[in-house]
Amino acid sequence: MRVGVHLISPSEQDVSEWGVAPEHARRYVLQTLRAAAALQNATEFVLFHGAEERFSAEPFPCVPLELARAGWFRRTSSPARSLKQAVRSERVDVMLSPLQSADLDLGIPQVYFACDLRPWESEPGAPPAKVAHIGALRKACADSRALVAPSNYIRQRFLELFDVPLNHTVVAAAGVPSAFAQNHSSMVAKPYLLLHDDSPGRENACMIVSALEKHATRFPFPVVLIGAGVGEESPLDDRVVYIEHCPDVQLAGLYQQCEAFVACGRGDGGASRVIEALGAGCCVIAPHSPATTELVADGPFYYNPGSTSSLMQALGRVLDQGPQEHGQRVRHGKAIAARFTWEQTAWKLLSAFKRI
Protein backbone atom coordinates (compact mmCIF):
# COMPACT_ATOMS: atom_id res chain seq x y z
CA MET A 1 0.00 0.00 0.00
CA ARG A 2 1.22 3.48 -0.89
CA VAL A 3 0.10 6.11 1.61
CA GLY A 4 0.22 9.82 0.87
CA VAL A 5 0.69 12.13 3.84
CA HIS A 6 -0.71 15.66 3.70
CA LEU A 7 1.67 17.97 5.59
CA ILE A 8 0.80 21.26 3.91
CA SER A 9 0.42 23.78 6.72
CA PRO A 10 -2.63 26.01 7.10
CA SER A 11 -2.18 29.57 5.93
CA GLU A 12 -0.97 32.24 8.36
CA GLN A 13 -4.45 33.74 8.17
CA ASP A 14 -5.94 30.46 9.34
CA VAL A 15 -3.56 30.29 12.30
CA SER A 16 -4.24 33.85 13.44
CA GLU A 17 -8.01 33.92 12.81
CA TRP A 18 -9.03 30.45 13.90
CA GLY A 19 -6.31 29.33 16.31
CA VAL A 20 -5.25 26.42 14.13
CA ALA A 21 -1.93 25.13 15.49
CA PRO A 22 -0.28 22.71 13.01
CA GLU A 23 2.84 21.96 15.06
CA HIS A 24 1.42 19.13 17.19
CA ALA A 25 -0.15 17.38 14.20
CA ARG A 26 3.04 17.49 12.13
CA ARG A 27 5.30 16.33 14.96
CA TYR A 28 2.85 13.58 15.87
CA VAL A 29 2.56 12.19 12.35
CA LEU A 30 6.29 12.33 11.52
CA GLN A 31 7.27 10.47 14.69
CA THR A 32 4.57 7.87 14.01
CA LEU A 33 5.57 7.37 10.37
CA ARG A 34 9.24 6.86 11.26
CA ALA A 35 8.26 4.18 13.77
CA ALA A 36 5.92 2.55 11.23
CA ALA A 37 8.65 2.46 8.57
CA ALA A 38 11.04 0.78 11.01
CA LEU A 39 8.47 -1.84 11.98
CA GLN A 40 7.44 -3.01 8.50
CA ASN A 41 7.99 -2.41 4.79
CA ALA A 42 4.59 -3.34 3.37
CA THR A 43 3.37 0.27 3.61
CA GLU A 44 5.16 3.04 1.72
CA PHE A 45 4.80 6.70 2.64
CA VAL A 46 5.18 9.76 0.42
CA LEU A 47 4.90 13.23 1.96
CA PHE A 48 3.29 16.29 0.35
CA HIS A 49 4.23 19.70 1.75
CA GLY A 50 4.32 23.36 0.78
CA ALA A 51 7.35 24.29 -1.32
CA GLU A 52 8.24 27.10 1.09
CA GLU A 53 8.18 24.86 4.18
CA ARG A 54 11.36 23.44 5.67
CA PHE A 55 11.44 20.49 8.00
CA SER A 56 13.23 17.17 8.39
CA ALA A 57 11.24 14.38 6.75
CA GLU A 58 13.90 11.70 6.42
CA PRO A 59 13.72 8.92 5.27
CA PHE A 60 10.56 9.60 3.28
CA PRO A 61 10.26 10.88 -0.29
CA CYS A 62 8.74 14.37 -0.39
CA VAL A 63 6.70 16.19 -3.01
CA PRO A 64 6.82 20.01 -2.61
CA LEU A 65 3.81 21.87 -3.98
CA GLU A 66 3.25 25.53 -4.79
CA LEU A 67 -0.16 26.34 -3.37
CA ALA A 68 -1.99 29.65 -3.25
CA ARG A 69 -3.79 29.66 0.08
CA ALA A 70 -6.08 32.57 0.72
CA GLY A 71 -7.34 31.27 4.04
CA TRP A 72 -8.97 28.26 5.62
CA PHE A 73 -12.36 28.68 3.96
CA ARG A 74 -10.98 30.30 0.79
CA ARG A 75 -8.17 27.91 -0.14
CA THR A 76 -7.30 27.60 -3.82
CA SER A 77 -4.71 25.43 -5.53
CA SER A 78 -2.06 26.66 -7.93
CA PRO A 79 -3.03 25.88 -11.54
CA ALA A 80 0.51 24.55 -12.08
CA ARG A 81 -0.05 21.44 -10.02
CA SER A 82 -2.80 20.76 -7.52
CA LEU A 83 -2.56 18.31 -4.64
CA LYS A 84 -5.08 16.10 -6.39
CA GLN A 85 -2.89 15.93 -9.51
CA ALA A 86 0.21 15.21 -7.43
CA VAL A 87 -1.55 12.42 -5.55
CA ARG A 88 -2.60 10.85 -8.85
CA SER A 89 0.87 11.04 -10.36
CA GLU A 90 2.44 9.49 -7.23
CA ARG A 91 -0.03 6.57 -7.44
CA VAL A 92 -1.23 7.02 -3.88
CA ASP A 93 -3.77 4.46 -2.60
CA VAL A 94 -4.93 6.31 0.51
CA MET A 95 -4.30 9.77 1.99
CA LEU A 96 -3.49 10.51 5.62
CA SER A 97 -4.57 14.11 6.23
CA PRO A 98 -4.80 16.45 9.21
CA LEU A 99 -8.40 17.53 9.57
CA GLN A 100 -7.33 21.16 10.01
CA SER A 101 -6.02 21.48 6.44
CA ALA A 102 -7.38 18.45 4.59
CA ASP A 103 -8.33 18.61 0.94
CA LEU A 104 -11.75 16.97 1.00
CA ASP A 105 -11.90 16.24 -2.74
CA LEU A 106 -8.92 14.06 -3.64
CA GLY A 107 -10.86 11.22 -5.23
CA ILE A 108 -9.20 8.49 -3.10
CA PRO A 109 -9.93 7.02 0.35
CA GLN A 110 -8.78 9.22 3.24
CA VAL A 111 -7.88 8.73 6.89
CA TYR A 112 -8.07 11.95 8.91
CA PHE A 113 -6.31 12.75 12.17
CA ALA A 114 -6.52 15.67 14.58
CA CYS A 115 -4.68 16.72 17.73
CA ASP A 116 -6.84 19.79 18.32
CA LEU A 117 -10.55 20.26 17.58
CA ARG A 118 -11.01 23.67 19.21
CA PRO A 119 -11.32 25.54 15.88
CA TRP A 120 -14.59 23.68 15.23
CA GLU A 121 -16.20 24.28 18.61
CA SER A 122 -19.70 25.73 18.32
CA GLU A 123 -19.98 29.45 18.87
CA PRO A 124 -22.84 31.92 18.43
CA GLY A 125 -22.68 34.04 15.29
CA ALA A 126 -20.07 31.90 13.53
CA PRO A 127 -19.32 33.09 9.96
CA PRO A 128 -21.44 31.29 7.34
CA ALA A 129 -18.25 30.01 5.69
CA LYS A 130 -17.22 28.32 8.92
CA VAL A 131 -20.64 26.75 9.40
CA ALA A 132 -20.54 25.44 5.83
CA HIS A 133 -17.04 24.10 6.30
CA ILE A 134 -18.05 22.23 9.48
CA GLY A 135 -20.88 20.65 7.50
CA ALA A 136 -18.43 19.56 4.80
CA LEU A 137 -16.11 18.11 7.44
CA ARG A 138 -18.96 16.17 9.02
CA LYS A 139 -19.67 14.52 5.67
CA ALA A 140 -15.96 13.91 5.03
CA CYS A 141 -15.57 12.21 8.42
CA ALA A 142 -18.57 10.00 7.69
CA ASP A 143 -17.10 9.04 4.29
CA SER A 144 -13.57 8.44 5.62
CA ARG A 145 -12.18 4.96 6.17
CA ALA A 146 -11.14 5.86 9.72
CA LEU A 147 -10.18 8.72 11.99
CA VAL A 148 -7.10 8.79 14.20
CA ALA A 149 -7.04 10.56 17.57
CA PRO A 150 -4.23 10.86 20.16
CA SER A 151 -6.60 10.47 23.12
CA ASN A 152 -10.04 9.24 24.10
CA TYR A 153 -10.90 12.88 24.75
CA ILE A 154 -10.38 13.76 21.07
CA ARG A 155 -12.30 10.64 20.02
CA GLN A 156 -15.22 11.79 22.17
CA ARG A 157 -15.02 15.27 20.62
CA PHE A 158 -15.16 13.71 17.13
CA LEU A 159 -18.46 12.15 18.21
CA GLU A 160 -19.83 15.35 19.71
CA LEU A 161 -18.76 17.74 16.92
CA PHE A 162 -19.03 15.57 13.80
CA ASP A 163 -21.31 12.67 14.81
CA VAL A 164 -18.49 10.16 14.30
CA PRO A 165 -19.23 6.77 15.95
CA LEU A 166 -16.66 5.87 18.59
CA ASN A 167 -15.64 2.67 16.79
CA HIS A 168 -14.81 4.67 13.65
CA THR A 169 -11.94 6.40 15.48
CA VAL A 170 -8.63 4.72 16.29
CA VAL A 171 -6.96 6.08 19.45
CA ALA A 172 -3.18 6.22 19.04
CA ALA A 173 -1.50 8.08 21.90
CA ALA A 174 1.81 9.86 21.32
CA GLY A 175 5.05 8.21 22.38
CA VAL A 176 8.48 9.12 23.76
CA PRO A 177 11.58 9.09 21.51
CA SER A 178 14.08 6.37 22.42
CA ALA A 179 16.84 8.99 22.83
CA PHE A 180 15.08 10.27 25.94
CA ALA A 181 16.05 7.15 27.88
CA GLN A 182 19.69 8.30 28.11
CA ASN A 183 21.10 11.32 29.94
CA HIS A 184 22.17 14.28 27.80
CA SER A 185 23.72 17.68 28.36
CA SER A 186 21.85 20.88 27.52
CA MET A 187 22.74 23.45 24.89
CA VAL A 188 21.61 26.13 27.38
CA ALA A 189 23.46 26.92 30.62
CA LYS A 190 21.58 26.07 33.81
CA PRO A 191 19.44 27.15 35.55
CA TYR A 192 16.49 27.88 33.22
CA LEU A 193 12.78 27.23 32.79
CA LEU A 194 11.65 25.46 29.63
CA LEU A 195 8.36 26.53 28.02
CA HIS A 196 6.32 25.34 25.08
CA ASP A 197 3.49 27.48 23.70
CA ASP A 198 1.35 26.86 20.61
CA SER A 199 -1.05 29.75 21.14
CA PRO A 200 -1.33 32.50 18.49
CA GLY A 201 1.19 35.26 19.23
CA ARG A 202 2.61 33.15 22.08
CA GLU A 203 0.12 34.91 24.34
CA ASN A 204 0.37 32.28 27.07
CA ALA A 205 4.18 32.46 27.11
CA CYS A 206 3.94 36.26 27.28
CA MET A 207 1.69 35.99 30.31
CA ILE A 208 4.08 33.60 32.04
CA VAL A 209 7.21 35.63 31.30
CA SER A 210 5.50 38.78 32.62
CA ALA A 211 4.49 36.93 35.78
CA LEU A 212 8.06 35.68 36.28
CA GLU A 213 9.38 39.23 35.99
CA LYS A 214 7.08 40.31 38.81
CA HIS A 215 8.43 37.48 40.95
CA ALA A 216 12.07 37.75 39.86
CA THR A 217 13.41 37.45 43.39
CA ARG A 218 11.70 34.10 43.90
CA PHE A 219 12.12 32.81 40.33
CA PRO A 220 15.35 34.33 38.96
CA PHE A 221 15.52 32.09 35.90
CA PRO A 222 15.84 32.85 32.20
CA VAL A 223 13.23 31.23 29.95
CA VAL A 224 13.82 28.91 26.99
CA LEU A 225 10.86 28.72 24.59
CA ILE A 226 10.67 25.77 22.21
CA GLY A 227 8.37 25.06 19.28
CA ALA A 228 7.77 25.80 15.62
CA GLY A 229 7.75 29.47 14.70
CA VAL A 230 9.19 30.76 17.97
CA GLY A 231 12.09 32.36 16.15
CA GLU A 232 9.75 34.72 14.32
CA GLU A 233 8.83 38.18 15.58
CA SER A 234 7.66 37.99 19.17
CA PRO A 235 6.76 40.49 21.89
CA LEU A 236 9.07 38.59 24.25
CA ASP A 237 12.18 40.09 22.59
CA ASP A 238 15.50 39.30 24.27
CA ARG A 239 14.01 38.07 27.53
CA VAL A 240 13.71 34.58 26.06
CA VAL A 241 15.99 32.09 24.30
CA TYR A 242 14.16 30.74 21.24
CA ILE A 243 14.72 27.21 19.92
CA GLU A 244 12.54 26.32 16.98
CA HIS A 245 13.86 22.93 15.91
CA CYS A 246 16.42 20.54 17.35
CA PRO A 247 17.18 16.79 17.20
CA ASP A 248 15.71 14.48 19.83
CA VAL A 249 19.05 14.17 21.64
CA GLN A 250 19.32 17.94 22.13
CA LEU A 251 15.64 18.20 23.02
CA ALA A 252 16.09 15.50 25.66
CA GLY A 253 18.98 17.49 27.14
CA LEU A 254 16.84 20.63 27.32
CA TYR A 255 14.14 18.71 29.21
CA GLN A 256 16.52 16.89 31.54
CA GLN A 257 18.57 19.89 32.65
CA CYS A 258 15.78 22.45 33.17
CA GLU A 259 14.41 23.45 36.57
CA ALA A 260 10.92 22.70 35.28
CA PHE A 261 9.06 22.34 31.99
CA VAL A 262 5.93 24.48 31.65
CA ALA A 263 3.40 23.40 29.03
CA CYS A 264 1.54 26.63 28.40
CA GLY A 265 -0.22 25.85 25.11
CA ARG A 266 -3.74 24.49 24.92
CA GLY A 267 -3.89 22.94 21.48
CA ASP A 268 -2.34 19.55 22.20
CA GLY A 269 -5.25 17.14 22.57
CA GLY A 270 -2.78 14.29 23.00
CA ALA A 271 -0.56 15.83 25.70
CA SER A 272 2.44 14.86 23.56
CA ARG A 273 4.86 17.44 24.97
CA VAL A 274 3.88 16.54 28.53
CA ILE A 275 4.36 12.82 27.87
CA GLU A 276 7.82 13.25 26.37
CA ALA A 277 8.90 15.69 29.10
CA LEU A 278 7.92 13.17 31.78
CA GLY A 279 9.77 10.49 29.82
CA ALA A 280 12.90 12.65 29.75
CA GLY A 281 12.82 12.88 33.53
CA CYS A 282 11.95 16.47 34.33
CA CYS A 283 9.30 17.99 36.55
CA VAL A 284 6.35 19.10 34.44
CA ILE A 285 3.88 21.90 35.08
CA ALA A 286 0.80 21.58 32.87
CA PRO A 287 -2.59 23.29 32.54
CA HIS A 288 -5.61 21.29 33.60
CA SER A 289 -7.05 19.70 30.44
CA PRO A 290 -9.13 16.57 29.75
CA ALA A 291 -6.46 14.94 27.56
CA THR A 292 -3.60 15.55 30.01
CA THR A 293 -5.46 14.16 33.04
CA GLU A 294 -6.65 11.19 30.95
CA LEU A 295 -3.20 10.22 29.72
CA VAL A 296 -0.76 11.12 32.50
CA ALA A 297 -3.00 11.54 35.56
CA ASP A 298 -0.90 12.79 38.49
CA GLY A 299 2.39 12.92 36.58
CA PRO A 300 2.58 16.73 36.24
CA PHE A 301 2.01 19.58 38.66
CA TYR A 302 -1.20 21.26 37.46
CA TYR A 303 -2.26 24.88 37.22
CA ASN A 304 -5.45 26.58 36.08
CA PRO A 305 -5.11 27.97 32.53
CA GLY A 306 -5.12 31.74 32.45
CA SER A 307 -4.32 32.06 36.17
CA THR A 308 -0.84 33.41 36.85
CA SER A 309 -1.27 32.92 40.60
CA SER A 310 -2.09 29.23 40.06
CA LEU A 311 0.96 28.86 37.82
CA MET A 312 3.25 30.57 40.36
CA GLN A 313 1.97 28.26 43.09
CA ALA A 314 2.71 25.19 40.95
CA LEU A 315 6.18 26.49 40.11
CA GLY A 316 6.84 27.17 43.78
CA ARG A 317 5.86 23.60 44.66
CA VAL A 318 8.34 22.27 42.09
CA LEU A 319 11.23 24.41 43.31
CA ASP A 320 10.50 23.70 46.99
CA GLN A 321 10.95 19.96 46.56
CA GLY A 322 13.79 18.32 48.43
CA PRO A 323 16.13 15.89 46.62
CA GLN A 324 14.18 12.81 47.78
CA GLU A 325 10.78 14.16 46.76
CA HIS A 326 12.21 15.39 43.43
CA GLY A 327 13.67 11.96 42.70
CA GLN A 328 10.40 10.24 43.51
CA ARG A 329 8.52 12.62 41.27
CA VAL A 330 10.91 12.07 38.36
CA ARG A 331 10.72 8.28 38.71
CA HIS A 332 6.93 8.43 38.87
CA GLY A 333 6.79 10.55 35.71
CA LYS A 334 9.11 8.18 33.86
CA ALA A 335 6.98 5.20 34.88
CA ILE A 336 3.89 6.89 33.46
CA ALA A 337 5.62 7.88 30.21
CA ALA A 338 7.03 4.35 29.78
CA ARG A 339 3.53 3.21 28.84
CA PHE A 340 3.73 5.29 25.65
CA THR A 341 5.95 4.36 22.70
CA TRP A 342 5.93 5.50 19.10
CA GLU A 343 5.95 1.83 18.07
CA GLN A 344 2.55 1.38 19.73
CA THR A 345 1.33 4.55 18.02
CA ALA A 346 2.56 3.24 14.66
CA TRP A 347 0.76 -0.10 14.99
CA LYS A 348 -2.47 1.76 15.81
CA LEU A 349 -2.06 3.94 12.72
CA LEU A 350 -1.32 0.92 10.52
CA SER A 351 -4.50 -0.73 11.83
CA ALA A 352 -6.46 2.26 10.49
CA PHE A 353 -5.05 1.64 6.99
CA LYS A 354 -6.18 -1.99 7.17
CA ARG A 355 -9.74 -0.69 6.96
CA ILE A 356 -9.14 0.39 3.35
In this structure, what CATH number is given to the domain that contains residue 205? Answer: 3.40.50.2000
Using 50, 70 and 90 to split pLDDT, how confident is the model at 79?
very low
Asked whether residue 349 falls in the same domain as residue 272, the answer is no
Angle at alpha carbon of residue 205, lines to 315 and 287, rounded to 5°: 50
39 burial via Cβ count (<10 Å: 0-12, 13-18, 19+): middle
Mean of the pLDDT values across residues 195-220? 79
8 A C-beta contact, residue 203 and residue 210: no
Provide the pLDDT for residue 12: 55
Provide the pLDDT for residue 71: 47
Asked whether residue 103 falls in the same domain as residue 88, the answer is yes
DSSP class of 42: S
Report the domain count for the chain: 2
Phi, psi of 231 (to 5 degrees): -80, -5
Range of the domain at 145: 2-175+343-353
Provide the pLDDT for residue 289: 92
Asked whether residue 184 falls in the same domain as residue 171, the answer is no
Provide the pLDDT for residue 80: 40
Is it the case that residue 201 has pLDDT exceeding 80? no
Asked whether residue 164 falls in the same domain as residue 121, the answer is yes
Asked whether residue 23 falls in the same domain as residue 161, the answer is yes
For residue 191, cis peptide bond before it (omega within 30 degrees of 0): yes
290 burial via Cβ count (<10 Å: 0-12, 13-18, 19+): middle
287-302 confidence digits (pLDDT tens): 999 999 999 999 999 9
CB atoms within 10 A of CB 127: 12
Asked whether residue 333 falls in the same domain as residue 305, the answer is yes
Asked whether residue 113 falls in the same domain as residue 202, the answer is no
Asked whether residue 27 falls in the same domain as residue 11, the answer is yes
Asked whether residue 150 falls in the same domain as residue 249, the answer is no
CB atoms within 10 A of CB 216: 9
Contacts of 254 by beta carbon, 8 Å cutoff, 6+ apart: 186, 187, 188, 194, 224, 226, 243, 246
Provide the pLDDT for residue 122: 66
Asked whether residue 187 falls in the same domain as residue 298, the answer is yes
Is it the case that residue 74 has pLDDT exceeding 70? no
Using 50, 70 and 90 to split pLDDT, how confident is the model at 73?
very low
Least confident of 79-83, 128-132, 171-175, 201-205: 79-83
Asked whether residue 214 falls in the same domain as residue 129, the answer is no
Single pTM value for the model:
0.89
Provide the pLDDT for residue 21: 56
Asked whether residue 276 falls in the same domain as residue 210, the answer is yes
8 A C-beta contact, residue 197 and residue 163: no
Q: Nearest CA to 299 among 276, 329, 322?
A: 329
Provide the pLDDT for residue 87: 94
8 A C-beta contact, residue 294 and residue 149: no
260-283 confidence digits (pLDDT tens): 999 987 778 899 999 999 999 999
Provide the pLDDT for residue 185: 96
